[in-house]
Chains A and B, each alone.
Chain A
Amino acid sequence: GAVVSQHPSRVICKSGTSVKIECRSLDFQATTMFWYRQFPKQSLMLMATSNEGSKATYEQGVEKDKFLINHASLTLSTLTVTSAHPEDSSFYICSARDSAGSGYTFGSGTRLTVV
């Protein structure tokens, strides 16, 4: 079945630095990528939707200059958390969908800890 590889699985960074999270679709073309974050005991909150080759659409309250999303190819999307702060510590999950809309494939998630 469809697989999305997400890396890194865990990352610890210092406050003020940037962190890049990658999601690769291994056996299908991810025309749309969704980025979520999940705080402890909370649900997945949609951050942004990106279509390949287009600018991402961010949800209300999500800073587009802080959470940079790149979806330049059909198999790779990245989320860069810029100038990370402790309040950005969370579980970040990507979800990909192909052009046929045959389903949503989730990455394995990235646990970000900002110290």
Chain B
Amino acid sequence: QKEVEQNSGPLSVPEGAIASLNCTYSDRGSQSFFWYRQYSGKSPELIMSIYSNGDKEDGRFTAQLNKASQYVSLLIRDSQPSDSATYLCAVRTSQAGTALIFGKGTTLSVSS
């Protein structure tokens, strides 16, 4: 079963706060994990990829991966109104070849 699950939200945070986005996946053999941001009517934009357990930081973004618990999360520090978008978790599973399987996405709203 190739499933990637996310809370659809909306997740609302004030400007400057930390936004926490979570994702779980069902295929224990999954290898690669990605977070994308998608604005309405646009194609997804890669934020981060993570392959190993632990944290990976890139600017205001931190991805966290826990393969034992089968979850991956994205933290956005100092959230800005421009961060308001839908965040998609994507997983390369062992059952879908090299394709990415996407979650439904979490809509984030950052209020100023």
Contacts and interface: CB of A to CB of B under 8 A. Distances in A.
B103 A43 contact: yes
Contacts of A49: 97-99
Tell me what chain A mostly uses at the interface: helix, strand, loop, or mixed: strand
Contacts of A45: 102
A92 B44 CA distance: 12
Contacts of B42: 108-109
A85 interface: no
Contacts of A32: 98
B41 A111 contact: yes
A77 interface: no
Contacts of B49: 103
Interface of A: 6, 32, 34, 36, 42-46, 49, 57, 91, 93, 95, 97, 101, 103-104, 106-109, 111
A46 B103 contact: no
B104 A42 contact: yes
Interface in B93-112: 96-105
B21 interface: no
Contacts of A34: 99-100
Contacts of B105: 43
Contacts of A36: 102
Most buried by A among B34, B96, B99, B100: B99
